[in-house]
Amino acid sequence: MDGGVVPTLAPALVSVEDLTVRFVTRDSTAHAVNGVTFSVRPGEVLCILGESGSGKSVTLRALMRLLPPGKTRISGSITVDGQDVLALNPAALRRLRGGLVSMIFQEPMTALDPVYTIGDQIAETVMRHKGVSKTVALARALELLELVKIPSAASRLNNYPHELSGGLRQRAMIAMALSCGPRLLLADEPTTALDATVQIQVLILLRKLQKEMGMGTIFVTHDLGVASEIADRIAVMYAGRVVEEGPVADVLANPLHPYTRGLMASTVHGQDRSRDIDAIPGSPPDLRQLPPGCAFAPRCSLAAGECLSAVPEPRFPAPGRMARCVRLGVPAFA
Amino acid sequence: MAMIDPDRGGPAQPLLIARDLRKHFKVKGGAPGAVVRAVDGVSFNVFKGETLGVVGESGCGKSTLARLLLHLIEPDGGELVFDGDPVGEIRGISVNALRRQVQMVFQDSSSSLNPRMPVRDSIAFGPYVHGKTKAEAGRIARDVLVKVGLKPDLFGPRYPHELSGGQKQRINIARALAIEPRMVILDEAVSALDKSVEAQVLNLLRALKENFNLTYLFISHDLSVVRYISDRVLVMYLGAVVELGPVQDIFSRPKHPYTTALLASRPSMDPARRIEEPPITGDPPSPINPPSGCRFRTRCPHAEAVCAQTQPVLGAWNDQDSHIAACHMQVPESGHSLAIRTH
């Protein structure tokens, strides 16, 4: 682990070192994640921010070994609460999933089982991990629905997923994820599919539950606004690498990497209506044919010869800050 | 094909007038008579050369509205007037003639392109159907590809799967422009794009509007994008218009409590000033049996007895500067304790 990034206040709950994920097919190999290193302390919220194809969701799925084993090549190391996730056998993996670590997804409709009631689905998880009776598990399910503020929770236990609105479905999925008191919550764009007035409700709920339960959380999003509402730290990913990392307020106030700066400038937020938006030119690289140097160099206005020859090593210009850019100006506070 | 004078009605004539548009969908397997009131009496004007933004949450009817405007879905009631000509009436213009002048760009850039056709053929298809020869249509396709920033020789022969999401959306815009429309309906046209690409496409849309004297109806759930691109904004809730006005008025002095809540629900973008309490609670109710009276009253912090009894009316607009809201608090003597006073 890079000592410069994470001050060693508490032992890390999650540490990921040099994680690489490739998807191999007969015709080509997609380099989805290319040497990702980060750690999360207990009770901390890390937001992984990136656009589609940046490797943010693949990184998250690798943490729970949810990627299809046949065509995925994973290397590096993933440690969660002292367990080497990449070495776990199937039985240990089942105990980990939903117990120590649980996950919420973008689309509750596809993540929930359509033919079981909400109550049964939550109770099944509780029975499996805690070994309690169905009656006890259903009572726990009711507590959980109340915890996530589902109105008239008792009658909702008997509802099927299609009978709930989008916001309630997402709350039900959160209830299920929290049912066994996980120490680590993985959230993959859980508010992206929700309407604006519902998104903020779910974000505030998640933030509150995360604090109360002291869960470490990795929250994947493409939305700077969502990250600013929930993150303690941000890791910005581009083409399968973390290009910048730091405390959320510092990164948003003073982005170091040209990609982070470009992303902030191109996010529409109160810009002058009479001017064009400062868009990043071009499009993200093909993950099957990554350039040998900095993957952002072809779109970067600051790119120079040295950017094209080798992947930039992480630099640590300030405590807690990291950026992979060779053109990093020396900041005043460094 | 008869030559159409490009500006029949003159500058003061709204390009499009929608009056009391209605579309109710029957609910399959639902209670007898159960209907989704997707669009329930929507009226507005689109003035020449402006961008009218339409915002609202899912299920508010904004996409159904877009489809009604082009008769992609047959309306149950109401009328459309395009540049002074009633649409689909004997003394007016036909639906086909309307579609020659109004084009649409959809959210899903892949499913709106034919996967078995090189994109230049998809673009040329419109002009060809509307009466150009194949050779002319091909030339038009090359021209519009240049206009949307794609090299015709490089991108024209490609199939949709060989293009990125942003490039596909440029193709869809090119296809819409190929028959030289006067108005383009953009239904969540940038919503599926990554932020860095979204910004490029928004810049392109602005430039095209300027260069080709277009009028836009810009539908989006993203308030920041709507604020950036629109001149006026129409806010929908459960199939009805709740507020309409110039963009700066809507964003700085919203009149309807729903608009206020929508604006307050936007993330702060500042970790030091996070939103602590949700501006409103609950989900939008089902449009199958919308609440009586004001549809927003079940989530409204100011709801009173009058709100359940009578449906507030949007009121009349005079011109592009009118700022109106369908709320009893905006109507003197409405019976609401917070109603504005006339004197």
Q: For the complex shown, is ipTM > 0.85?
A: yes
Q: Are residues A227 and A287 in the same domain?
A: yes
Domain of residue A155: give its range: 106-181
Q: What is the DSSP string of A138-160?
A: HHHHHHHHHHTT-TTHHHHTT--
Structural domain contains residue A330: no
Q: What is the mean pLDDT of residues B207-211?
A: 95
Q: Are residues A66 and A201 in the same domain?
A: yes
Q: What percent of chain A has a predicted confidence (pLDDT) above 70?
A: 95
Q: Are residues A148 and A190 in the same domain?
A: no
What whole-number distance in Å separates Cα of residue A25 and Cα of residue B238? Answer: 47
Q: In what order do the strands lie in the sheet with A29-40?
A: A29-40, A14-24, A72-80, A83-84
Of B59, B220, B39, B31, which Cα lies nearest the Cα of A167?
A: B59
- Residue A331, pLDDT > 80, answer no
Amino acid B288: pLDDT:
84
Q: Is A192 within 8 Å of A106 (Cβ atoms)?
A: yes
Q: Which residues of A260-277 are buried (b: 16+ CB within 10 A; e: fewer)?
A: bbbbbbbbbbebeeeeeb
Contact B265 A196 (CB under 8 A): yes
* Boundary residue ending a domain (A126, A153, A181): A181
Contact B267 A262 (CB under 8 A): no
Choose the mutation target among B109, B194, B210, B258 for the interface with A, i.e. most A CBs under 10 Å: B194
Q: What is the mean pLDDT of residues A262-280?
A: 90
Q: Are residues A19 and A74 in the same domain?
A: yes
Q: Are residues A94 and A222 in the same domain?
A: yes
What whole-number distance in Å separates Cα of residue B162 and Cα of residue B155? Answer: 9
pLDDT tens-digit map of A106-138: 888 888 999 999 999 999 999 999 999 999 999
* Chain B residue at shortest CA distance from A286: B164
* Chain B residue at shortest CA distance from A281: B200
> What is the amino acid identity at position B209?
K
Contact B271 A252 (CB under 8 A): yes
Q: Are residues A217 and A290 in the same domain?
A: yes
- Residue A5, pLDDT > 80, answer no
Q: What is the mean pLDDT of residues B241-265?
A: 96
Q: Domain count for chain A, please give it.
A: 2
Structural domain contains residue A51: yes
Amino acid A10: pLDDT:
67
Q: Are residues A110 and A239 in the same domain?
A: no
Amino acid A9: pLDDT:
59
> What is the amino acid identity at position B242?
V
**Angle at alpha carbon of residue A131, lines to A125 and A133, rounded to 5°:** 90
The two most distant CA atoms of chain A are separated, in Å, by 67
Q: What is the mean pLDDT of residues B304-331?
A: 91
- Residue A184, pLDDT > 70, answer yes
Q: Are residues A190 and A155 in the same domain?
A: no
Q: Which of A51, A196, A201 sits opposite B57 (nearest CB)?
A: A196
Structural domain contains residue A4: no
Amino acid B334: pLDDT:
87
Q: Are residues A79 and A195 in the same domain?
A: yes
Contact with chain B for residue A274, Cβ under 8 A: no
**Residue found under tokens 């399959």:** B28
Q: What is the mean pLDDT of residues A253-279?
A: 92
- Residue A329, pLDDT > 80, answer no
* Boundary residue ending a domain (A181, A212, A240): A181
pLDDT tens-digit map of B66-100: 999 999 999 999 999 999 999 988 889 999 999 99
Q: Which of A151, A200, A249 sits opposite B265 (nearest CB)?
A: A200
Structural domain contains residue A334: no
Local structure of residue B272 (DSSP, 8 states):
G
Q: Which of B262, B271, B283 sits opposite A249 (nearest CB)?
A: B271
Q: Are residues A249 and A285 in the same domain?
A: yes
Contact A277 B283 (CB under 8 A): no
Q: How confident is the model at residue A269 (pLDDT cuts 50, 70, 90)?
A: confident
* Boundary residue ending a domain (A181, A211, A226): A181
Q: Which of A198, A226, A263 sits opposite B196 (nearest CB)?
A: A263
> What is the amino acid identity at position B166?
G
Chain A residues with beta carbon closer than 8 angstroms to that of B298? none
pLDDT tens-digit map of B118-141: 999 999 999 999 899 999 999 999
Amino acid B181: pLDDT:
96
Structural domain contains residue A332: no
Q: Is B238 within 8 Å of B199 (Cβ atoms)?
A: no
Higher pLDDT, B320 or B70: B70
Q: Are residues A241 and A128 in the same domain?
A: no
Chain A residues with beta carbon closer than 8 angstroms to that of B266? 196, 200, 225
Q: Is A268 within 8 Å of A277 (Cβ atoms)?
A: yes
Q: Which of A196, A199, A268 sits opposite B228 (nearest CB)?
A: A268
What whole-number distance in Å separates Cα of residue A296 and Cα of residue A283? Answer: 10
Q: How confident is the model at residue A145 (pLDDT cuts 50, 70, 90)?
A: very high
Contact B202 A200 (CB under 8 A): no
Say what angle helices A134-147 and A118-130 make with each other, to 10 degrees: 120
Amino acid B52: pLDDT:
97
Q: Are residues A74 and A204 in the same domain?
A: yes
Sequence ranges of the domains in chain B: 251-268+280-343
Amino acid A1: pLDDT:
42
Of B39, B53, B75, which Cα lies nearest the Cα of B241?
A: B39
- Residue B316, pLDDT > 90, answer no
Q: Which of B165, B203, B279 sits opposite A279 (nearest CB)?
A: B203
Q: How confident is the model at residue B5 (pLDDT cuts 50, 70, 90)?
A: low
Amino acid A313: pLDDT:
94
Chain B residues with beta carbon closer than 8 angstroms to that of A279? 196-197, 199-200, 202-203
Chain B residues with beta carbon closer than 8 angstroms to that of A231? 271
Structural domain contains residue A329: no
Amino acid B188: pLDDT:
92
Structural domain contains residue A6: no
B137, with CB counted inside 10 A (0-12, 13-18, 19+), is buried
Does residue A240 come out as left (phi exceeding 0), alpha (psi in the -120 to 50 range) or beta?
left
* Strand-pair category, A14-24 with B240-246: unpaired
Q: Identify the CATH number of the domain in which residue A240 sits.
A: 3.40.50.300
What whole-number distance in Å separates Cα of residue B322 and Cα of residue B232? Answer: 10
Structural domain contains residue A1: no
Local structure of residue A69 (DSSP, 8 states):
G
pLDDT tens-digit map of B18-71: 999 999 998 887 777 788 999 999 999 999 999 999 999 888 999 999 999 999
Residue B188 CB coordination number (10 Å):
19
Chain A residues with beta carbon closer than 8 angstroms to that of B279? 197, 200
- Residue A3, pLDDT > 60, answer no
Q: How many CB pairs under 8 A join A and B?
A: 129
* Chain B residue at shortest CA distance from A259: B196
